[in-house]
Structure 1
Amino acid sequence: MTPKEILIQTLKHQETEQVAWVPFAGVHAGRLLGYTATEVLQDEEKLFQSLMEVNKLYKPSGQPVIFDLQVEAECLGCDLVWADNAPPSVSEHPLEGEEELITPCYCTIPTKESGRIPMILNVMKRMKEKVGKTTALYGLICGPFTLATHLRGNDIFMDMYDDEEAVEEFLTYCGAVAMKMADYYIEAGMDVIAVVDPLISQISSDHFKQFMSEPFSKLFAYIREKGAYSSFFVCGDATRNIEVMCKTNPDSISIDENVDLLAAKAITDKYNVAIGGNIPLTTIMLHGSQQDNMKFAVDLLDKIKNKKNLILAPGCDMPYEVPVENTIGIVQAIRETGSVREMLKNYVAQDDAIEVELPDYEHLEKPLVEVFTLDSATCAACTYMMGAANEAKKIFGEAIDMVEYKYTKKENIARCKKMGVPNLPSMYINGELKFRSLVPSKEELEEALRSVM
């Protein structure tokens, strides 16, 4: 059985002889050949070469062609900021600051000739020809809610309270964009369409049912009708939304380390939905040793007794600097679980024991806003949590202090542990957790700050 057949069988909810493996190597693919993130996301030949290297080294069951949630946003007028070691981020939101959210004035749908879409489609076709028989190819599209946020900015969170009808109409439009992108990618040979919507973790299940259930249900039904499989990809602490996500009827769900995989699988099994995840991106893949990665994979497989409907994968887009040997170690753990288990039976991970000093929260001169993120440059949910903090800083100026702690740095991992940060992103004010995996509206954050001033 080929690696692709293992994944397809998993998505068909059948028993498999081995667990499917999908390394979400986005910009990390470029690092394998010495290309920057900007190069690999803009140059067809460099992207193709990098993907072939991923395929050779990491022996995937499934593989994304590009991991960039800004492709559609760029086509629709969002300005991007590019980086050498991360995907671009949206810097300007065309509809931000508008008094009302009005969809009809902004109803362009990207074409096959828009932005970087022609380059992406060419690479998809080339990958299909080269590895399509042995590897299932993933086409990743920006989910409706994250696209809506790219276009509207943080204003979308208040719109859900102030103008429900306009939000519903706007999400219908964003769903139509997603359907058209799915069309293009399926036509180019993609086996799986992953609808990547990290900001789903930043809303309540009630808001999901009110605004998201219909557009996502229609989108997954459309993908199935077109003959492809689907994945509902969410980052952050989406625990409260796993069940409502299942009810939109995707073939699979992908989660990150913020979600308890065993608890989530109990829910997805109830709905016969496959689940993928959730190897930690930073503590294990980026900063761990090869043995740490092998042990995590083996321990996870040992914990999950019912491996039907299971896909092993990183929690999200792999960090650019992940050591190659770490990912290769995971491959070995999946393919030779018994021998790796025996090899590591006496292995104990080293404790870096980094000491960090916390602020004296009782004697601060002015309010301190601390935003704990995976990395606001690469994680969309973190971007908008940090965006809310930045807006507050503009309003309050020197009257408050603000800092971001990125989980990609070892000392910040230690800080998170010492603070007891439950999930990323989270926002603390004067050492107290105020917003946990929920992007605050401008009014909510202002009120929280005024209460401590």
Structure 2
Amino acid sequence: MTLTGKEMIYKVLQHEEVPRPGWIPFAGVHAGFLKGYDATEVYTDANKLFDSLMEVNKVYSPDGQVLLFDLQLEAEILGCTVRFEKNGPPCVMDSPLADTDEIPTKMISKEDGRLPLVIDVTRRIKKEIGDTTALYGLFCGPFTLASHLRGTKLFRDLKKNPDYVEKIMAYCTEISLQMAQLYLDEGVDVIVPVDPVVSQISPPVFSKFLSGPYKRIFDYIREKGAFSSFFVCGNATHIIELMCQTGPDSLSIDENVNLPEAKKITDKYNIVMGGNIPLTTIMLFGNQQDNIKATIDLIDSIDVNNKNLIIAPGCDMPYATPIENTIAVSHAVLHTDKARELVANYELSDIDVEVELPDYENLKKPMIEAFLLDPTACAACTYMWAVAEDAQKHFGDKIDVVEYRYNNLEDIARTKKMAVAQLPSLYLNGKLLYSSIIPNLDELIVQIEEAM
């Protein structure tokens, strides 16, 4: 009996053994690339978003499919200024709570912002492919939403104003429940809070401020009869077990996390693990063989008869990801044995770009280097870079602040030459300060002063 993609995802999420892993291409902005639309068109034009999603379904044969990958949607409704990009997701430009300790009271309605577009497209997509493809409804998780509203001050609040953090988290959790209900009302199969900034906090902070809200969210989704997934980008290794304890049906992680090791933890809780084909080094800059090889290696690294496993890109795919590369990943998941034969003796290609590192021993002034994925597309990177910029504002021309993005070849080569283990990371004078942890600005200022 041949399973539909939707049946496959349901069986995986119900912890049944299946003939292969599930397959979900996280094609947000990339969906528009398939049809020749820029990212702004995808996020603002319902017809173009619908056409793009239908093309994703046609070209990549997914088991499950995201409807819209936009972590700024709620922030825009709640007062943040959002800048739209041609080849990437929107980004938040300001934080309305940066200079006030007020807690908003506004709740969202289906008529707010771009939600009518989301509802319209969801209904049309469900009608066309909802019987054969599991639909994933994504929304901005409460901690990242709080970061959008509060800005970098939120990371000071964690120590200096914890009562405020609890209040803003309670508010953002209510917004999350409203977004979950919006998708539930439309019969969406899997409800997904996406909270990249969560990877940047410590386990004690997670336990104190996030465990309760997330348990409430996942209990609510389960009570309503839908599946859930907890999606955290960045190096979430240190909080995987805590994420499991909040009770989602599945976790989604990116390439910063060792999937086989993480799966040992999720298996203990009987939770599905999803991930994590590298976005840039493999999907964006690799070739077809690289993508097949990386996918096969990932599948073969997990000895579990395909139970509780979904293969997906590490996060929202880069806009201009070559179509043939994603087809290669799809082929490797859907036809694993044949794909394994194709790359039996193949070695992954390497990025060969020469870069010269600064002479750290003879710098004229302190240098902060931010190694990022993409500060416009990755929320964790956005706030890591924002703290670095705040430090620049504090010290002015007494320090240098530089950013490197893991979406261009030279910066990838530089990241590798520096042996940067996790992104985002912050270095001072060539020495690691913060690895996948967004710093408190006050602490960063002290460290820079000590280096002067």
Q: TM-score range by the shorter chain?
A: over 0.9
Q: How does 1:21-100 map to 2 (within 5 A)?
A: 21-98=23-100
223-232 or 247-256, larger mean C-alpha shift: 223-232
Opposite residue 49 of structure 1, the aligned amino acid is D
Give the drift of 1:346: 1.9
- Distance apart, 1:42 and its partner CA: 0.4
Q: Distance in 2 between matches of 1:238 and 1:349?
A: 25
8 Å Cα contact 2:28-2:316 kept in structure 1 = yes
Deviations 1:48-107 (A, max 9, x none): 000000000011111000000000000000001111000111011000122xx332xx11
CA distance in 2, matches of 1:162, 1:395: 19
Structure 1: how far apart are the matches of 2:24 and 2:296? 16
**Out of 124, 131, 135, which is 1:137 matched to?**
135
Given residue 150 of structure 2, which amino acid in structure 1 is its aligned partner? R
* SS of equivalent residue, structure 1 residue 296: helix
Task: Kindly report structure 1 stretches of 4+ aligned residues shifted beyond 6 Å.
Answer: none
- 1:352 shift after superposition: 3.5
Which whole-Å deviations, capped at 9, do the CAs of 1:163-210 have from their partners, x for residues lacking one? 222211211110000000111111112100111000110000000000
Map residues 245-394 of structure 1 onto 2, 5 A cutoff. 245-306=243-304, 307-394=306-393
Aligned to 2:411: 412
**Paired letter, 2:108:** P
Q: Output the CA distance in 1 between the equivalents of 2:200 and 2:351.
A: 32
- The whole-number CA distance in structure 2 between the counterparts of 1:321 and 1:450 is 41
- 1:272-313 CA-to-partner distances (Å, cap 9, x unmatched) read 110100100000000000110001111111111112100000
Identify the residue that residue 222 of structure 1 maps to in structure 2.
220
State the percentage of identical aligned residues: 54
Displacement after TM superposition at 1:350 (Å): 3.0
Q: Distance in 2 between matches of 1:172 and 1:352?
A: 45
Deviation, 1:227, is: 1.3
Q: Which amino acid in 2 is paired with 1:349?
A: L
| Corresponding position of 2:205 | 207
2:6 is aligned to 4
1:244 to 232, 242, 245: 242
Q: 1:319-342 CA distances to partner (integer Å, 9 max, x unpaired)?
A: 001000000001111121111111
- Structure 2 residue matching 1:320: 3-state secondary structure: coil
TM-score by length of 1: 0.98
Larger deviation, residues 439-448 vs 64-73 = 439-448
Distance in 1 of aligned mates of 2:165 and 2:137: 26
1:209-234 CA-partner distances (Å, limit 9, x unpaired): 00000000000000111111100000
* TM-score, normalization by structure 2: 0.98
Q: SS state of the match for residue 304, structure 1?
A: coil
Distance 2:296 2:136 in 1: 25
In structure 2, the residue corresponding to 1:92 is in which secondary structure?
coil
Letter in 1 for 2:125: M
More displaced 10-residue stretch of structure 1: 381-390 or 221-230: 221-230
> Is 1:158 aligned to 2:160, yes or no?
no
Say if 1:124 and 1:189, in contact at 8 Å, map to a contact too: no
Q: CA deviation at 1:30?
A: 0.3
Q: For the aligned residues, what is the CA RMSD?
A: 0.8
CA distance in 1, matches of 2:432, 2:160: 26
CA distance in 2, matches of 1:84, 1:445: 33
Distance of 2:159 and 2:102 partners within structure 1: 15
Q: Is the 8 A contact 2:425 2:432 kept in 1?
A: yes
Asked whether the 8 Å contact 2:286–2:349 carries over to 1, the reply is: no
Letter in 2 for 1:295: K
Q: For 1:429 and 1:350, how far apart are their aligned partners in 2?
A: 31
Q: Aligned AA for 1:83?
A: E
Contact 1:262 1:304 in 2 (8 A): yes
For 1:177 and 1:351, the matched residues in 2 are separated by 44
C-alpha contact (below 8 Å) 1:6/1:17 kept by paired residues: no
Residue identity matched to 2:155:
F
Instruction: Tell me the number of residue pairs that the alignment of Structure 1 and Structure 2 aligns.
Output: 449
Q: Aligned AA for 2:220?
A: Y
2:193 counterpart residue number? 195
The amino acid of 1:439's aligned partner reads: I
Separation (CA, whole Å) in 1 of partners of 2:119 and 2:245: 31
Q: Which runs of 5+ in 2 are unaligned?
A: none
* Aligned-partner residue type, residue 339 of structure 1: K
Query: 2 CA distance for matches of 1:446 and 1:247?
Result: 35
What secondary structure, in the 3-state scheme, does the structure 2 residue paired with 1:32 have?
A: helix
CA contact 1:255–1:277 (8 Å) conserved in 2? yes
Letter in 1 for 2:245: K
2:109 aligned residue? 111
